[in-house]
Amino acid sequence: MAEGKHQKINSDKLPHWKKPGRERDISELRAELDVLGLKIVQVTPDGNCFFRALADQLEGNEDKHEKYRNMVVRFIKEGNWSGHVELQAASLATHCNICIHRHGSPSLYAQNFDVHEAPQIHL
């Protein structure tokens, strides 16, 4: 009987959905969702996946993702209060770490870059 060679898999080069333990994680998620009467629906993983999932849930068609991205962007553009999303987007767009100081509340941080790689600004 011939034995096949076992190849060591370099998990660093695998896509995140194929890494070891991923199937177990998905099985655990499925079990959690089953309790809620929900199931996993795969959407195209192309950078629009959040908006695809939103369109799928609201219209049953992930291809309407652009409608929901535009709707959300319009809402943000109309002068609403900034939150974590805007803080993260500002940090990434300007390539700097941001600390927001607030009276009577904890500071908010967007620490996306190594301190030697990007400036830290305080607002």
Per-residue pLDDT of the chain (123 residues; tens, 9 = 90+): 344 443 444 445 555 555 567 788 889 999 999 999 999 999 999 999 999 999 999 999 999 999 999 998 888 888 777 788 889 999 999 999 999 998 899 998 999 999 999 999 999
CA-to-CA dists, residue 11 to 18, 45, 54, 75, angstroms:
8, 20, 31, 40
Q: Could you tell me the pTM of the whole model?
A: 0.59
Determine the Cα–Cα distance for residues 32 and 25; give it in Å rounded to an integer.
11
Greatest extent of the chain over all pairs of C-alpha atoms, in Å = 74
Helices (H) and strands (E) in the chain, counts: 4, 3
Question: Which residues are 121's β-sheet partners?
Answer: 98
**Which pair of tokens denotes residue 18?**
């194929």
Angle at 52 between CA 58 and CA 56, to 5 degrees: 30
The per-residue pLDDT for 119 is 95
Give me the domains of the chain, ranges plus CATH numbers. Answer: 17-80 (3.90.70.80), 82-123 (no CATH)
